[in-house]
Structures are given as C-alpha cells and as structure tokens.
Amino acid sequence: MEKPVSSILVSDYSGQVIDLLQVYKGKPLLLLIYNNQCLGCTGRAVPLAYQLSKAFPAVEVLGIHTSFSKEVVTERDIMSIFTIDEPPFPIYLDQEQRVYQQFTSEGTPQWILLTSNHTVYRSIFGSQANAENRLYYALEQMC
C-alpha cells in the first residue's frame, strides 16, 4: 500500500502558501489539477468537478490551477471562466507546477483522489467519457 501524502502546498490568491492536508485534515479529497487555457478543463472537467461535489458530498472537491507560464494568475483570471460570482468549489493556485509534478501529472485535467488518510487512491487523466466513468467508479468504491 502507498504511503500517505505528507503535504500538498498551494497558494491562495494573495500568494500565501497553504498545505491542503492541514486545511482538509481527515477528509477524502478529489483534486482537479487544471488550467484555464485548457478547453477540456474549462468546458468539461470543471463542470464535472461541480457535479461530483454534489453527487459525493463526503468528498472535498478542490480545484488546483497550475500555471505553465511566468504570468501571475489572479482571482479575476480564475473567475473569468465562471458565470457566477463565486467558484463552485475551492480553487487554489499552483504557480510553479509543484503539485502538478508532485503527482506526476500527464497533463490537464488530472484528477487525484485521496483517501481520508491522504493516500492516493486513484490518479486519472482527462475529461472525456472514459475518465468520467473511471472517476465515478472510483468514488463509488471509495465512499
């Protein structure tokens, strides 16, 4: 069995570093590693993450925007993909691709499902039907 992940360091919109495992201690997590410039992310993965947050309320769904350029991403940049005033789930920033690399992401969107003791249960790449089905099956098995 894999060892639990020891930390997941992201930042908030003010640049403050946050360890997601301290904030969401003892909760199963579904991380969506995505990028606003990725059409599969904004058109399919983000809406899917919202659906999953409603279908599996025991799992904390979190977005992690990974930047692939030196430009600093702002809250306004993140919110530009939404038609609502607040994101449908918490979204954090991965300005230097640390989380992206930590989980050996294949690209975006990358989904990381962590158990309540923060062991990686599944890592799934993509946003189309196959990835969606795999996510639902993994969540149903874990919950």
| pLDDT tens string 96-135 | 999 999 999 999 999 999 999 999 999 999 999 999 999 9
| pLDDT tens string 64-83 | 999 999 888 999 999 999 98
- Give the model's pLDDT for residue 137: 96
Q: Which has the closest alpha carbon to 49: 141, 112, 104?
A: 112
What domains can be seen in the chain, in order of their start residue?
9-142 (3.40.30.10)
Look over the chain and give the mean of its residue pLDDT values, rounded to a whole number. Answer: 95
For residues 16-23, give the mean pLDDT.
97
Per the listing, tokens 């904004």 go with 42
% pLDDT > 90, the chain: 89
Structure tokens given for 105? 């992401």
The band of 143, judged by pLDDT with boundaries at 50, 70 and 90, is confident
Checking if the pLDDT of 1 tops 60, the result is: no
> pTM for the full model?
0.95
- Give the model's pLDDT for residue 109: 98
- Give the model's pLDDT for residue 117: 94
State whether residue 125 is helix, strand or coil: strand
115: Cβ–Cβ under 8 A, 6 or more apart, which residues? 28, 121, 142
User: 3-state secondary structure string, 28-88?
Assistant: CEEEEEECCCCHHHHHHHHHHHHHHHHHCCCCEEEEEEECCCCCCCCHHHHHCCCCCCCCC
